[in-house]
Amino acid sequence: MNFSVSISSPPPFPTQFLNLSSHSRFAVLRRPGRIFCSSISQVHNYGTIDYERRPPFKWSLLYRKISMTDSPGGVGSSTDVLERWVAVGNKVTKWDLCRVVKELRKFRRFRLALEVYEWMTSKGKRFKFTSSDAAIQLDLIAKVHGVSRAEDHFATLSDSLKDKRTHCSLLNAYCQAGMKDKSEAFIQVMKNKDYIEEALPYNALMTLYMNAKEYDRVKSTTLEMRESNISLDIYSYNILMTTYAAMGNMEEMEGVIEQLKADPRVNANWGTYSTLCTMYIKLGHFEKAEDCLKEAERRITGRNRIAYHYLMTLYSSLNKKEEVYRIWNSYKSSFPVMVNKAYHSMLSSLIRVGDIEGAEVMYEEWMSTKPNFDPRICNILMSWYIKEGQMEKAQEFLDRTIEKGGKPSPTTWEILADGHIRRKRIPEALSCMKEAASIKRSVDWRPRPETIASFLDFCEESSDIESKEMLLGLLRSAGCLDEEKYKSFEASRI
């Protein structure tokens, strides 16, 4: 039974756990075929200000300026924005900066968030730096630069900053990277220091085992927790529930649900029921999945946008178009302004239920709001047109989007290139790949190996060595050929 995660099947944990905010304690990151714990989010609860209690003011303007540097056509860095901000007389407090970082992390703008922390640390004693801040910065370093850099940074921390928060952050980095030996050794270090007082470190380790499909290790870890008088929390139960679902053992999975309900220390939230819904969908129990969605909807509290995103996605996975629209209308009535992510979720859901006309109407509605253009929304329709063989419509759609001020991303051009490759139009496909490589900030662009392989195969068939060498040159300039999944293409050179 395949439990890999795809766009048509939401991850087993809702992404409100991914926000790394003061409200989230455990995260599971959506990546194809893998689940990642991002448990460092909990460190926000230790001695930091409750950001939500402060009224919003200039931080939102500062956030918009910083976030724009990472958008298509944007230039600069968080540091540039902050230096200009203070140069014209604006004051900035640590609260403002932490609130900006929280928002950047929510939308996975990790590089920009790390730059904010680096700017703060460059100002010496101007901003009081706590171990909670150090843990968050360590987490961002691991995400942006890798585990090795995070280890080096951890080694430079003062003894006062090397507490359970920063230790948990490094453990989490090991677990996310799938480093089992280092994870197991480091959690033993934490045990020796009496840094494990709650479920969080065990959750990270169990997620690692779950990714590795070592399901017995997940179960044995929960037994160890109980023997150590460490109570399971809501995320421990979610991991255990997901583990049994991955094993196809619905009876044990439902047994975990009953344990959760009987635990007076744990309250099942909307995320728990959306997780359960996902498991029932994968196991083919669609009526039970829909019942879970109804329960999840009843448990939404506060202004939780992400909950609506997941409800739409899950209803579309059940092919419930009417429910998708009902949730969308409820969403719009709850929030005066609809963010890009809302339209992204809605368009994806409409495509999933086969309502292409509704998706096109929704796209036009989004464009009419004159949004901060997000090419990922454009890419949803582009991908559908290409998949359905509607090449001309895809090209017209892209041309019209550009006319209205939209700026394609490298992925947009790659999608169009894929359509040309399917029709064996090598010159046109190569032109699109050149466009992709020429876009500013394309340094992070990594085309799908399948697309590259198809292009090179057609070049071989038609003896078009020149086009093959030109594409390999683009990949080489982008730094792709140094990576393992592209090395075979370099070896195919004639």
SS3 content of the chain, % helix, strand, coil (to 5): 70, 0, 30
Predicted pLDDT of residue 5: 33
Can you list the alpha helix ranges (DSSP code H) found in 90-163? 94-106, 110-122, 131-145, 147-156
* DSSP letter assigned to residue 129: P
Taking the C-alpha atoms of residue 472 and residue 490, their distance in angstroms, rounded to an integer, is 7
The answer to whether the beta carbons of residues 37 and 172 sit under 8 Å apart is yes
Bridge partners, 35 (sequence order): 30
Predicted pLDDT of residue 314: 97
Comparing C-alpha atoms, which of 110, 30, 32, 66 is closest to residue 345? 30
Comparing C-alpha atoms, which of 380, 315, 302 is closest to residue 341? 380
Helix and strand totals (H; E) in the chain: 25, 2
Predicted pLDDT of residue 441: 60
Bridge partners, 30 (sequence order): 35
Burial 68-107 (b: 16+ CB within 10 A, else e): ebbbbeeeebbbebbeebeeeeeebebebbbbbbbbbbbb
Taking the C-alpha atoms of residue 49 and residue 168, their distance in angstroms, rounded to an integer, is 20
Predicted pLDDT of residue 71: 55
**Residue 119 amino acid letter:** W
User: 């100002």: which residue's tokens?
Assistant: 123
Tokens matching residue 139? 């987490």
Taking the C-alpha atoms of residue 405 and residue 157, their distance in angstroms, rounded to an integer, is 46
In DSSP notation, 399-453 reads HHHHHTT----HHHHHHHHHHHHHTT-HHHHHHHHHHHHHSTTGGG----HHHHH
Predicted pLDDT of residue 80: 87
User: 């900030």: which residue's tokens?
Assistant: 441
Taking the C-alpha atoms of residue 160 and residue 158, their distance in angstroms, rounded to an integer, is 5
Residues 6+ apart with CB under 8 A from 129: 120, 121, 161
Taking the C-alpha atoms of residue 8 and residue 2, their distance in angstroms, rounded to an integer, is 13
Phi, psi of 9 (to 5 degrees): -140, 110
Predicted pLDDT of residue 483: 77
Bridge partners, 36 (sequence order): 29
Q: What is the pLDDT along the chain (494 residues), one digit of tens a residue?
A: 444 333 333 333 333 333 333 333 333 333 334 444 444 444 333 333 343 444 445 788 888 888 877 654 445 688 888 999 888 888 888 999 999 999 899 888 899 999 999 999 998 888 888 999 999 999 999 999 999 999 999 999 999 999 999 999 999 999 999 999 999 999 999 999 999 999 999 999 999 999 999 999 999 999 999 999 999 999 999 999 999 999 999 999 999 999 999 999 998 889 899 999 999 999 999 999 999 999 999 999 878 899 999 999 999 999 999 999 999 999 999 998 898 999 999 999 999 999 999 999 999 999 988 777 889 999 999 999 999 999 999 999 999 999 988 889 999 999 999 999 999 999 999 999 999 988 866 567 789 999 999 999 999 888 999 999 999 888 888 778 777 778 788 666 55
